[in-house]
Amino acid sequence: MDMDKLFLDVQSLLGQTINNTPSPEEKELFRIAAAALMFISETGRTHSFEDYLQHGKEDPPYAVASFKTREEADTWLKNHPEPPHGTHVLVSDDYHLVAYHRERDIRSLIKLPAIESYLEDLARRGPVVPVASFSTREEADAWLQSQPKPPRNAFISIAGKYHVAIYHRLINHRALYPLPPAGEPEDAS
């Protein structure tokens, strides 16, 4: 996908739409959409956006950082010059929303069930045959960490229960998540 051409085509379409839109409020909304494209390009996030367009529905919710403990995450948040408001970070593989009010310098991490709907969707589609089976989570984690090219998401079995091995590409982080029961075949034991 040629992102430069795509951005130019979208900006051209937005420009035509702005010119044909009588409402000043709608014109402003189209200008904001065009500015969002420029921001993506000027901040060097074009490739990340391309990945999002290609894989966004297949990937788990994006995260911008990963921490082993809440204390590490809180330290990062406290020391960050401008925390990325509205993004997710992982704390022990649990999703947290970054909340930042710039004018009052209020910073917070809010635990959210962001991964649950993604896992429920995978469960509804039904897992395929597990790529690997393990007796313990430790064995499964060791396997995932040792993969030279981690799977984007792969079904595995741990003690007869389905899990999803996920690779968070943007932050080079690997995690295991249990699949909700609806995704386990009836004969799994």
Residue 111 has a pLDDT of 95
Q: Do strands 88-91 and 66-67 pair parallel, antiparallel, or not at all (unpaired)? A: parallel
Q: How confident is the model at residue 102 (pLDDT cuts 50, 70, 90)?
A: very high
Residue 2 has a pLDDT of 83
3-state secondary structure of 156: strand
Cα distances (angstroms) measured from residue 165 to each of 91, 113, 174 = 17, 18, 7
Is the distance from CB of 152 to CB of 172 less than 8 angstroms?
no
Cα distances (angstroms) measured from residue 101 to each of 45, 56, 67 = 23, 27, 22
3-state secondary structure of 29: helix
Residue 76 has a pLDDT of 97
Summary count for the chain: helices (H), strands (E): 6, 8
Q: Do strands 94-101 and 88-91 pair parallel, antiparallel, or not at all (unpaired)? A: antiparallel
Instruction: Tell me the pLDDT tens digit for each residue of 130-158.
Output: 999 999 999 999 999 999 988 888 899 99
Residues 6+ apart with CB under 8 A from 169: 51, 59, 152
Q: How confident is the model at residue 188 (pLDDT cuts 50, 70, 90)?
A: very low
- Answer whether 0.85 is exceeded by the pTM: no
